[in-house]
Chains A and B, each alone.
Chain A
Amino acid sequence: MSSKLPTIKYDRGTLLLTNFDDDFANTLHGVQFDDRINAYRAQARHYRDIVMALHQSARKYTDKAKAFSPVRLSLKKKISPFPHQKEALSKWEESGKRGIIELPTGAGKTVLSVLAIASVQRPTLVVVPTIDLLLQWERVLSEHFNIDIGVYGGGRHEKATITVTTYDSAAHNAEFWGQNYGFLICDECHHLPATAYQFIAEALVAPFRLGVTATLERNDGGEFVCEELLGSLNFSLPIDALEGKYLAPYEVRRVPVNLTDKEREEYESSRKTYLRFLRSTGISFNRPDAWANFIMICQRSAEGKRALEAYRNQRKIAFSSKSKTDALWNILKSHRNDRVIVFTEDNETVYRLSHQLFFPVITHHTKVKERKHLLSLFAEGALPVLLTSKVLNEGVDVPDANVGVVLSGSGSVREHVQRLGRILRKRPGKEAILYEVYAAESSEMNTSERRRQHRAYYGKE
């Protein structure tokens, strides 16, 4: 039997601290006494601080929480980072290999992460938001490391020294995996503050952490949650600092379209019903929970249900009017020798356009095999156009795409910047164009104005 040393154990996303004296335990940040079990407990993310405190106080202890050891992860070939990558990595290393790096799409966040993995030399869990990014990370990591890369998500269940998974899979499994990884990378880490995803970073003991994103800022203050869970913002660079040399030069073209008379009539009528209801109920969309409140109030009466239906209808008209399809067709024809990604707000429009124009579709319904195939044909130039709703918004590397068409979207600045990012990867001679097609004299004009409130769009029209 071992003597009663302070012991740290891992328990379903938390740490159990047994045989800790009360005075010492009470000095530890995030540690609480759990009277259900007569021991101290903390979120697993506090592992590093607890171990450091034990070391600093020269206490002997038993560590049963960590189930990983240093590993040798050597790069297949040397990477020569760009100056901004080098500086970002160095700042992150100076912060104890914890923290967040904010760089525009195409600036090389994945390669930077590869360098970070090689620097940390611990089993690594990479968390990504979409299946497309899962596949992309697998490819990039396989190119740089001499080991099999684990993929957990999109129907695959392989775990390895370096494992790539989705936020959804990680949230589901964090309490089972929490002690196995020394390094956590959250790609597009602005997703982490979502309630269901925070647990990923809370439940992992991983002492080393890196968050990468093109758009850290959230309008709900979620960036502070990211910093609490991953470490502070170590480095940030805007798009315009890299345009030309490291990112493709680009221009933005706005294309207003007029609804047909019939569409206009229907649009006005639906909008009137919706606005009348808003006025009668006094709902203000300035409050953060206004949308949920609106939906709830709508459910309470027949008038509310009609208002919700009217809201959906006016949006549908604005998003998918015949004039928009015609405008899109004209844009596509003028870029028939380019590589174009068309973004919409909803899947319905994407499938309708595919039925009409016979261009391929990538939505969340598209299976991994088909996504891979379509992206590779698009990269080869065999497919000139990809239609998508939101799944290609973020991160996915489509370096050959040089034209983006936003046919509809939300008012989110982040979404709009991320969509622009899809076409900015540098290629010799490449000049990118982002079109924004919107219904003039409709609420879509305001939506369009809202999403363009970012320095990436200033002076670009």
Chain B
Amino acid sequence: MLNRDLLMFRRNKGRIKPTLVDLQNRSFHNLARDFIQICDNNIGQSREYIEDLIEEKISRSRRKKISKGLAKLVLDRCEFAEPKPNVLESRLELFSQSAKIFRKVKIDESIEEYRLRIQEHLSEPLDSVEEGLFADLKSRRSLTEFKGMNAEELLHRYNLAQVQGLILYAERVELTIEEPDIVKVRNLLRWLRFCRLVANISKSELTWKIIVDGPGSILSMQKKYGLQLAQFFAVVPKLEKFQVEAVIRLPRKPVASLSIGTESGLRSHHKNFGRGHVPEEIRVIAEKFESSLWDLSTQPEPINLVYDEICVPDFCFSHSDTGQVVFIELFHRWHRSALTKRLDMFDNMTERNLVLGLDKALVSDSHVAEIVEKNDQIFVFNSFPSLSKIAKVLKGFE
């Protein structure tokens, strides 16, 4: 992410447009490569040294703001060493020694005389002691790893960070997507939940409209959701077609609207997003499930439940004669908090065709056990639901 002073944008008639770098322009590639090389070639050097090199590069660049932005993104991918051992011990020893000397200092003694007296108690020159005195400070630690990337990747990161930097000042984001791959939509909504945001979702044909903001945004709370919105936005360019609309409130600037979409050429660096991992157990069920009445999908569309909750079911069964649809959402032992939330809303849910499958381990909680006992929309399984359990659930809908 980039700080506000590194953002580049133009404002015109109430609209704000991020200034993205042109990836066709080779000079940007050269600039990006220079910063990458500074880090690549200086493993083992101190942070201070690397920052000086970067500073020098920036001062010689004609595009200072872009250079500073690239430098920030490159430094974010650097790992620096833990402090050297014994620096603290040596320092404390020195201070303890100097304290004893200071207690005996004469009232007319100069700083130089006092330093000479300290030198008498040291085995190495004062200059060298001074040099190592705070060697454990962040600025003095050495570069151990640079999580490398090529110039093009850095420039894409830069462009994405420019837009994220503006979204940081958005109160909410309206996202319209056209995405034929339901796996990506499911992943996007899971990501939304991970970012702890609230969404209102509607769909017509292949177009999804998702309005995203934070739970407290209507309450003039001081909590800003910009960081979460920016984090959420990072995966959006993975979608086939997207359009984002947001109202941006930069401090001490008039409100402006941001509109950006697929044509911007933004690219997300989230490599695994949308790969559509189907857990082994679900794949086995899909292979072994046989029924003349029910068709099974293991990638159903998400459902918008009451109280902003999005449910991403694991199975969707469609009855071939009646068209009845049954969703099954599974909760494993590691889904305890998600289950609590789902059970909280169960009373008010209108979806009578959503069935919850609970791992036996979750039913050890007496409150959960009581709800399971009273509710025929919930069944219990041991590690993973068997085909017979699922058949029994479906029987209830025939």
List residues of chain A with CB under 8 Å of any chain B CB.
Answer: 1-2, 4, 9, 11-14, 16, 18-19, 30, 32, 34, 36-39, 41-43, 64, 175, 195-199, 202-203, 289, 292-293, 296, 299, 325-326, 329, 332-334, 336-337, 351, 354-361, 365, 367, 369-370, 373-374, 377, 382-385
Contacts and interface: CB of A to CB of B under 8 A. Distances in A.
B221 A18 contact: no
A369 B130 CA distance: 22
B307 A336 contact: no
Nearest to B347: A1
B216 A14 contact: yes
Contact of A203 (B114, B223, B252, B307): B223
Interface of B: 5, 88, 91-92, 94-96, 98-99, 102-103, 105-107, 109-111, 114-115, 118, 130, 133-134, 137-138, 196, 198, 200, 211, 213-216, 218-219, 221-223, 251-252, 306-308, 344, 346-348, 374-375
A365 B344 contact: no
B95 A383 contact: yes
Nearest to A196: B222
Contacts of A14: 215-216, 219, 221
A325 to B, nearest CB: 7
B5 A299 contact: yes
Contacts of B375: 1
Given A1-B347, A373-B92, A333 B105 contact: yes
B218 A41 contact: yes
Instruction: Name, among B111, B252, B346, the residue most crowded by chain A CB atoms within 10 Å (CB to CB).
Output: B111
Contacts of A289: 252
A402 B346 CA distance: 64
Contacts, number: 131
Contacts of B110: 329
A336 B98 contact: no
A116 to B, nearest CB: 25
A360 B95 contact: yes
Nearest to A11: B215
Contacts of B213: 36
Contact of A296 (B138, B252, B374): B252
A370 B221 contact: no
B105 A12 contact: no
A337 B103 contact: yes
Nearest to A383: B99
The A interface, classified by DSSP as helix, strand, loop or mixed, is mixed
A325 B114 CA distance: 14
Given A299-B5, A370-B88, A359 B95 contact: yes
B223 A175 contact: yes
A333 B107 contact: yes
A36 B200 contact: yes
B165 to A, nearest CB: 16
Contacts of A326: 111
B306 A199 contact: no
B218 A32 contact: yes
Contacts of A334: 107
Given A333-B105, A382-B99, A12 B215 contact: yes
Contacts of B215: 11-14, 41
Given A289-B252, A336-B102, A377 B219 contact: no
B254 to A, nearest CB: 14
A358 B95 contact: yes
Contacts of B346: 1
Given A12-B215, A14-B215, A36-B308, A384 B99 contact: yes
B196 A175 contact: yes
A32 B221 CA distance: 12
A384 B252 contact: no
